[in-house]
Chain A
Amino acid sequence: MDIANSIQSIGFLTDLRESALVYPFVLSTHLACIALFGGMILMTDLRLLGLTFKSLTITEVVTSLRPWKRLGGVIMISMGLLLATSEAVKYAPNPFFWTKMTILGLIGVHALVFRPIVYNKTEELDRSPVPPTRAKVAGALSLVLWTGMFTMGRLIAYYEPKQPAPQASQVTPLTNEALK
């Protein structure tokens, strides 16, 4: 908690949190990245699954969208860092936030596993008439992971820390009615 507090007390993060305009602007940019670049991830996954863009090679889809996804990733993560660090005290105890970070870690693992056998081997994949199983697995897992990401992102806003136990005087006395 102390660490979280010192993080979010950093000058510009305090300014960000308290700004009526900058905070929603950063949040909107984070969301707009989902629309612009999340869509590219999704379309790549659909191509890997063989569900659309069949006249485009996997190579074309993967290599042509790669620089845009990288740019999107950098913007998305920078905005996400600003959002999380400026509200560090709220985020630190939030289980949805940590679930999201775990999924982000799993996305890293996904990249480590599938980059050498799918994303960097697209020409090999294109020689097969239907996408091979490993390509479909990569696409399907990516869909699941990213759905988890934005769902957890949304749920972060709904976590309410447990209230301290109510004082004896505030406890509603049991009535006879309730005991029946």
Chain B
Amino acid sequence: MFLQNAVADALNNTEWAFPLAECFHIGGFAVAIGSIVLVDLRMLNLGLRKETAARLLRYTEPWTLVALVFILFSGAALFISQTFVYIPNWVFRAKMVVLVIAIIYNFSIHRMVASAENPSPGLSKLVAAVSLVLWVSIVFGGIFIAFV
């Protein structure tokens, strides 16, 4: 089955386009998740203790955002190239649900607690731990799509 659209054409008809999109996807999540994890690490009081989580967040957020755009575009391209593979795949659908939750969580609760003046250490740790679990599970989801 072949999809008729420009992106799908490009990804299905050249040898390098699909792997290239995957590399953008991987490079993108290294930057996006990596930058979020630095803030989480601080919130868990496990590193970068000489700086506040709020300050770290201000540094990392532009990188998170730009990388997120890369991930979403490359991910959308991969999806469009074989919608018939992804749509019926339950891991893919679960990944999308968790992804939406993670993005909303990151820019609401996570952002609020990370940039708070004096958040309670317990709350900070909980929020950071949830953030880590969400993002790591999305990476796992990406791999498991190919194995169910």
Contact = CB atoms under 8 A, between A and B. Distances in A.
A154 interface: yes
Contacts, number: 98
**Chain A interface mostly helix, strand, loop or mixed?**
helix
Interface string B54-89: 011001100100000000000000000000000000
Contacts of A151: 23, 27
Given A35-B139, A39-B38, A55 B19 contact: no
Interface residues of B, number: 36
A36 interface: yes
A12 interface: no
Highest count of chain B CB atoms <10 Å: which of A23, A35, A155, A158:
A35
Contact of B34 (A25, A42, A60): A42
Contact of B143 (A27, A40, A68): A27
B34 A35 contact: yes
Interface in B20-38: 22-23, 26-27, 29-31, 33-38
A83 to B, nearest CB: 11
A43 interface: yes
Contacts of A111: none
Interface string B90-128: 000000000000000000000000000000000000000
Contacts of A139: none
Nearest to A60: B50
14 contacts: A20-B147, A34-B30, A35-B37, A35-B136, A36-B136, A40-B38, A43-B38, A52-B60, A53-B56, A56-B51, A64-B49, A65-B47, A68-B46, A154-B26
Interface of A: 20-21, 23-25, 27-28, 31-32, 34-40, 42-43, 46, 52-53, 55-57, 60-61, 64-65, 68, 147, 150-151, 154-155, 157-158
Given A23-B147, A53-B51, 14 more contacts: A20-B147, A24-B143, A28-B143, A32-B139, A35-B29, A38-B30, A56-B48, A56-B51, A60-B50, A60-B51, A64-B47, A151-B27, A154-B22, A155-B19
